[in-house]
Copies of this chain bind each other. A is one copy, B any other.
């Protein structure tokens, strides 16, 4: 019980090193050797804990998705008003992109696997589903309370996520294209404008 789970610790250490490698060298330009060096372990031990590189990558995806989910969940928890909750959701989602740009890009890197790796696609779509659901639940509550119009919660949730991803994408390609704070404000207003009863 008090014995720390060495295996779990080692695995986490390796996964974190992998994230670092992806951040630094890009999704396809790092080697197991790089991971070993970064983690300060031997190459062999990585294959002891992970079946192969794909298996390691799935763990990275789990971690990255999970971390992002946790941040959002934590920030929404303490709020009760549906309007405020949605506002926070949007604000936090945008903020994750800005404050952990590299992390968000690691997440993006998995998008290229849509066609190639069924498992990746499943994890990512489950991750999006979670987001949509937690967001939709808030919208549903708002509708019930009468503060939101009679909208399709799932669709509106999708639009919110879509706006965050799409706006971020353009900004990541060229940060000079707009002031991030400004566009976030505009985006938030537009999204809420579609929800709130006037």
Contact = CB atoms under 8 A, between A and B. Distances in A.
A38 B102 CA distance: 35
Contacts of A115: 23, 26, 102, 105
Contact of A166 (B105, B109, B129, B164): B164
19 contacts: A25-B116, A26-B115, A102-B115, A105-B112, A108-B112, A111-B111, A111-B112, A111-B173, A112-B112, A114-B173, A124-B173, A125-B170, A128-B173, A158-B170, A159-B186, A159-B187, A159-B190, A162-B167, A190-B190
Identify the interface centre among A25, A170, A177: most chain B CB within 10 Å of its CB: A170
A114 B174 CA distance: 9
A162 B154 contact: no
Interface of A: 23, 25-29, 102, 105, 108-109, 111-116, 121, 124-125, 128-129, 132, 152, 154-156, 158-159, 161-167, 169-170, 172-174, 177-178, 182-183, 186-187, 190, 193-194
The complex is assembled from copies of this chain, and their number is: 4
Dominant secondary structure at the A interface: helix
Contacts of A155: 178, 182-183, 186
A102 to B, nearest CB: 8
A174 B112 contact: no
5 closest A-B pairs by beta carbon, nearest first, are A162-B166, A125-B174, A166-B166, A125-B173, A26-B116
